[in-house]
Structure 1
Amino acid sequence: MVQRFLEQVITEKEPIREIRIRIGKPVFVLDSEGEKILNFDEKRGNPELLRIEDEKENSGIENGSMADSELIRALMEIFARHSLYAYEREISQGFLTIRGGHRIGITGKAVVESGHVKTVRDISSLNIRIAHEIKGCAKSVLPHLLSGEEFLDTLVISPPGAGKTTLLRDLIRELSSGGSWGSGKNVSVVDERSEIAACFGGVPQCDLGPRTDVMDGCPKAVGMLMMLRSMAPQVLAVDEAGGEEEIRAMKYAMKCGCRILATVHGADMEDIMKRPAWRDIVGEKIFSRYVVLTGVPTPGTVAEIYDESVCQCREKSTCEDRYAAAFSYRSQLRMTGKWENEKI
């Protein structure tokens, strides 16, 4: 039943963001209305989502269908296409990415050799994050990241689950396609975790535009240097940057005349400034724009956009109605931009 429900969610692109499965616990589903519990009507054989009546008292949780080890084993076989060994490298990092760009977080018994996690066995929990491709969600943001037709080095800052990869994906598509703002650009994407392009058999399943090249499954620092040497990109895009080698690679790319579009986990500017490497980056004015996302009121809301001096900018535009309607329907990004000419 859970397998049928997951199939329905993934193939029909229902507005569900996350599904958490734990052995001996109810299956929790996160959608636009909040957290719900998955239950199955044994008579009709149909899955249904039950709202949690009272979070403090966990009212309604007892009505949910409980997951077991057999369910998790069966799902892992499906996700790994009956070849868990082929996904051993990803599993050792605590996740695997499946066709469509959906990401499966994993917990269980870590098998450690020489200080490194070789694999994860006795899997006890799965966190299924449903990937969403929403074309047009970057339209209200992109104008703030341009100087004429020139794209400015941009860092997207976002807490987990706040829509950064969805925004990144659409910014790549917009830059690659071009538009009223100017001609399309050659964009190289280093997709270490196969989340941006959702490559299957080497071919991106997501639309990243006509001038985009993807290096799939490659470590970001290595991939950026490879793309610079082989593809001569105008824009280089990476998701979840942050390691010292990755920062060095981005700086090198900038010195080569390539623009950078990157994301990093963080609650806000103050949060990333607590990390020495990023504090130095901000101090050196490496990036010209910082886009801060928040999950309030919905994932993908743009809280602030800053320039290289960490100045906010005056409000220029908000998301057009047709995009807002699409975001509401899919329970994804609702974009608003805020620019103030005051120093923080």
Structure 2
Amino acid sequence: MPGRRSRNRPAKPRPRTGRGSGPLSCEEYEARRYELAAELLPRRLRNVALGLDPARRGTAEEFRLRAGRPLTAVFPEGEEELPGGAERVVQGSDLNLTLDIATQLSAYSSVETLRAGYITVPGGFRIGVCGTAVLKDREVSNIKNVSSLALRISRERKGTAEEVLGALRENGRFQSTLILSPPGGGKTTLLRDLVRLLSDGSTGMPGYRVAVADERGEIAVCYNGTPQMDVGARTDVLDACPKAAGMMMLLRAMNPQIIAADEITAPEDIKALEAAANCGVKLAATAHAEGIPDLLSRPVYRSLLSLGIFKKAVVIRMVEGKRLFTVEDVPCCG
């Protein structure tokens, strides 16, 4: 069945977070998030990052710091070294200093998420950490000898999901939906805004109680229990808990009408989704795939589709540097 297509519209103006007053334009907001992320870097690397052409700052998605290698930024079109000569080369001390800045010299407060390979920073930023895993009872208890960092420049793009929400409803009710794209395609950003709209309510649709199983802290980006991203007024977030266990906990404890989860990957995730659907809960989730045919080529996802619990799919594709959303009906392949 042909899908419904729509181009990603610019985000609505955001409240000003820097100096001055008045709303930020979309372009100003995107660039300001880049600058705020750069403030988490040591001064020398911060200056390198701020040497990037201001016109390109709004499209950068991550900073990548690797010991002995130049500082890079990830853009939709790929990863690039930032200009700056020898000053841009990352030293081992830069990695530790970045973590000190991010945790405000209280790394112990981030030990729980560090075991999973990342830390969350006030303001909604997230840093992935690589190094030497410290094992205790055959489980990761910490990471030492840090060798690289991935600083994600997270952004809210409010309004992103508005153009697809209407196609995800039948008889005025939201239908369980999968969001699909290759890595870096914008699935989490779209899911976050969809959660916000479902929670707050929108034209012709009341607000739902939404529960988010935020295993890796990327949807709500909680810091000390407070979401750093707007996920709506009726949303409950379970942070840093494995998705399968988290969905079951939310199902039992929070009486949700919708459960949202990022990156469904394992059979236990599918069992939890099935249990929630059998209790009458609607679902919103993401998966790495180029489209439904790609899902059907993999046993885990083929078994998911065979359950018939997801009715709609939003497929995200990059077309001429812009994200194109296609809403499709999900076939039952049982």
1:123 paired with 2:167, answer no
The answer to whether the Cα contact below 8 Å between 2:125 and 2:153 also exists between their aligned partners in 1 is yes
- Aligned residue in 2 for 1:307: 329
Provide Cα deviations, 1:59-87, integer angstroms capped at 9, x if missing partner. xxx66621111111100112233233332
How is 1:317-336 mapped onto 2 (pairs within 5 angstroms)?
A: none
User: What is the alpha-carbon distance in structure 2 between the residues aligned to residue 8 and residue 176 of structure 1?
Assistant: 37
Contact 1:172/1:208 (<8 A) preserved: yes
In structure 1, distance between residues paired with 2:48 and 2:203: 39
The whole-number CA distance in structure 2 between the counterparts of 1:167 and 1:115 is 36
Aligned position for 1:211: 234
Corresponding residue for 2:81? 37
SS in structure 2 of the partner of residue 21 of structure 1: strand
Where does residue 200 of structure 1 map in the other structure? 223
CA contact (8 A) 2:212 2:235 kept: yes
Q: Specify which structure has the bigger relative contact order, considering alpha-carbon pairs within 8 angstroms and separated by 6 or more residues.
A: 2
Instruction: Provide the C-alpha distance between the structure 2 equivalents of 1:73 and 1:268, rounded to a whole number of angstroms.
Output: 40
Selected match of 2:71 from 5, 24, 27: 27
Q: CA deviation at 1:133?
A: 0.4
Report Cα offsets for 1:176-230 as digits up to 9, x if no partner. Answer: 1222232121111121222111222212221112221222222222222222222
Q: Percent identity?
A: 39
251-260 vs 98-107, greater mean Cα deviation: 98-107
CA distance in 2, matches of 1:151, 1:257: 12
Aligned to 1:169: 192
Count of aligned pairs: 287
Could you say which residue in structure 1 is the equivalent of 2:15? none
Whole-angstrom CA distance in 1 between matches of 2:75 and 2:176: 33
Residue number in structure 1 paired with 2:110: 87
Cα distance in 2, alignment partners of residues 38 and 197 from structure 1: 29
What secondary structure sits across from 1:135 in the alignment? Answer: coil
**Residue aligning to 1:317:** none
Q: In the aligned structure 2, how far is the partner of 1:238 from the partner of 1:33?
A: 27
Distance 1:267 1:97, change over 3 A: farther
1: CA distance between counterparts of 2:260 and 2:301?
Answer: 18
CA contact (8 A) 2:188 2:262 kept: yes
Task: Tell whether 2:122 aligns with 1:99.
Answer: yes
Query: In the TM superposition, what is the alpha-carbon distance from 1:131 to its structure 2 partner?
Result: 0.7
Question: 2-side partners of 1:300 and 1:2: how far apart?
Answer: 34
Alignment-derived partner of residue 62 in structure 2: 18
Q: How far is 1:39 from its partner?
A: 4.2
- Give 1:19 shift: 0.8
Letter in 2 for 1:70: S
Matched residue type, 2:169 = L
In structure 2, the residue matched to 1:322 is: none
Determine the C-alpha separation between the residues in 1 that align with 2:231 and 2:304.
Answer: 28
- Letter of the structure 2 residue corresponding to residue 37 of structure 1: E
Instruction: Answer yes or no: is the 8 Å Cα contact 1:159–1:265 preserved in 2.
Output: yes
Within 2, Cα distance between the matches of 1:77 and 1:2? 15
Match of 2:29 in 1: none
> For 2:167, what is the secondary structure of its paired residue?
helix
Please identify, of 71-80 and 213-222, the stretch whose mean Cα deviation from structure 2 is larger. 213-222
Report the TM-score when normalising by structure 1.
0.75
| 8 Å CA contact 2:48, 2:87 repeated in 1 | no
Give the direction of change, closer, same or farther, for the CA distance of 1:98–1:5 in structure 2 (3 Å limit).
farther
Aligned to 1:73: 96
Indicate the residue corresponding to 1:323 in structure 2.
none
Aligned to 1:255: 278
Corresponding residue SS for 1:210: coil
Match of 1:334 in 2: none
- Kept in 2: contact 1:294–1:301 (CA 8 A): yes
- Quick one: which of 272, 294, 306 aligns to 2:317? 294
Q: TM-score by structure 2 length?
A: 0.77
How far apart in 2 are the matches of 1:108 and 1:267? 31
Which residue pairs with 1:238 in the alignment? 261
Look up the SS of the partner of 1:79 in the other structure: helix
Q: Which structure 1 residue ranges, 4+ long, deviate > 6 Å from structure 2?
A: 6-9
Instruction: Give the partner amino acid of 1:244.
Output: P
Contact persistence 1:191–1:218 (CA under 8 A) = yes
* AA aligned opposite 1:24: G
Which amino acid counterpart does residue 268 of structure 1 have in structure 2? G
* Residue aligned with 2:273, SS: helix
Residue by residue, what CA displacement relative to the aligned partner does 1:246-292 show, whole Å, maximum 9, x if unpaired? 21111111111110001122233233323322111212322101222
Compute the displacement of 1:92 (Å). Answer: 2.9
Matches within 5 A, 1:257-272: 257-272=280-295
In 2, Cα distance between the equivalents of 1:164 and 1:213? Answer: 20
Unaligned runs of 5+ in 1: 41-61, 312-344
Partners of 1:299 and 1:193 lie apart in 2 by 26
CA distance in 1, matches of 2:321, 2:105: 36
SS of the equivalent of 2:61 reads: strand
Structure 1: how far apart are the matches of 2:140 and 2:147? 17
